[in-house]
Amino acid sequence: MKSMPDHAEMEKAFRGRDGSYDGLFYVGVRTTGVFCRPVCPARKPLPENVEFFPTPKEALFAGYRPCKRCEPLKAGGELPAWAAGLLDRVESDPSVRIKEADLREAGIEPAKARRFFLNKFGMTFQAYCRARRLGRAFDEIRNGKRLDDVILGHGYESHSGFRDAFLNRFGKPPGKMRGEDFIRIAWMETPLGPMAAGASAKKVCFLEFTDRRMLEAQFEALSRRFRLPIVPGENEIVERLRSELDRYFSGALKRFTVPLEYPGTEFQARVWKALLGIPYGKTRSYEDVARAIDNPGAVRAVGHANGLNRIAILIPCHRVVNKSGELGGYGGGLWRKRRLLDLERGEAFR
């Protein structure tokens, strides 16, 4: 995932409609559900109602649709007329299926469209169409619309075709989605870069920096582990987590109270519980953690379990250091580990 400018710089560029940042980041507006370019002429929302993304793919995955005023999919240079026409066609009615024969009829080779969209947006043209179509369908199902109406309204020729597509995307058949829990994934801006947070209706189960490798594979593993579908969105738990993270990074919160769920092996659970017992502003060695779980010979296994923690900061694996006092490893990057420890020692972020 490409890097972005820091949060303050992006906020300033967005507020100032700075065209030099066009294509370097994208802005999601929670109150409208759209994502924009930095130069968008629309009225600027409150800072707490925006979040930033490195590419359109991440914004689409988070549930945002392209802004019709600034056309963020054209950032970084005007699109070829044929590509711009395809985007306009999809956005005018995301439920319409555009097949390869339709592309050829319009004088566009399907392979050309696939390569262009993959290089430009990180997904093929057909993947973009599916994301827009299924996202709208899911919203309608959750809001109680009849399944037959959803299927007909989104261009599916049969129940089985819609069911298969829905199952592949959300992990459960559409008929079983009403009233059931699922894991909401939301993006959160922090002074150390954006994070992806995951929560069920009752507990936080995921928190990672978005530049971690294989992030989407981690989402898939999370869905399998909890046997719940993953969809973009927020709930009370996500909002509570966002508030507590803001207070933590400002130095006003030393203990998180949002409930956590972290399934794993018995050994992993013991290690993660021991991490939760490390006081704010303090560090422990891997040997210390091994002794805390009454298994002093399991130092290497403790390090492995530490690395498998998927709820960063809240389960404070950043507080575990080498016996020598050196920082050791950290999945989010040693620079972040150092900044987190400095914060907890009283050094505020600038």
pLDDT in tens, 143-184: 555 555 555 455 555 555 555 555 555 555 555 554 556 788
pLDDT at 273: 95
CATH 3.30.160 boundaries in the chain? 183-249
Residue 139 has pLDDT above 90, yes or no: no
Q: What is the mean pLDDT of the chain?
A: 81
Q: State the fold for domain 266-344.
A: Arc Repressor Mutant, subunit A (1.10.10)
Average pLDDT over residues 131-152: 57
pLDDT at 1: 46
Q: What is the pLDDT of residues 71-90, one digit of tens each?
A: 888 766 667 888 888 888 88
Q: State the fold for domain 79-179.
A: Arc Repressor Mutant, subunit A (1.10.10)
CATH 1.10.10.10 boundaries in the chain? 266-344
| Maximum mean pLDDT: which of 99-108, 122-131, 270-279 | 270-279
What number of CA atoms fall less than 13 Å from residue 218's CA on the CB side? 19
Helix (H, G, I), strand (E, B) or coil at 222: helix
Q: What is the pLDDT of residues 52-64, one digit of tens each?
A: 888 887 777 666 7
Residues facing residue 4 across a β-bridge = none
Whether 256 and 199 have beta carbons less than 8 Å apart is answered as no
Whether 46 and 30 have beta carbons less than 8 Å apart is answered as no
Q: What is the pLDDT of residues 2-39, one digit of tens each?
A: 567 888 889 999 999 988 788 888 998 877 878 999 99
Q: Which residue has the higher pLDDT, 232 or 177?
A: 232
What number of CA atoms fall less than 13 Å from residue 260's CA on the CB side? 20
Provide the pLDDT confidence category of residue 331 given band limits of 50, 70 and 90: confident
pLDDT at 215: 64
Burial of 178: CB neighbours in 10 Å, binned 0-12, 13-18, 19+: exposed
Separation between Cα atoms, residue 282 and residue 68, nearest integer Å: 50
Tokens matching residue 213: 């490798």
pLDDT at 256: 96
CATH architecture of 1-78: 3-Layer(aba) Sandwich (3.40)
Q: Which residues are catalytic?
A: 317
CATH 3.40.10.10 boundaries in the chain? 1-78
Separation between Cα atoms, residue 128 and residue 133, nearest integer Å: 9
Whether domain 183-249 has CATH 3.30.160: yes
DSSP 3-state percent helix, strand, coil across the chain (nearest 5) = 45, 10, 40
pLDDT at 288: 95
pLDDT at 348: 62
User: Residue 196 carries which side chain, given as an amino acid letter?
Assistant: A
CATH 1.10.10.60 boundaries in the chain? 79-179
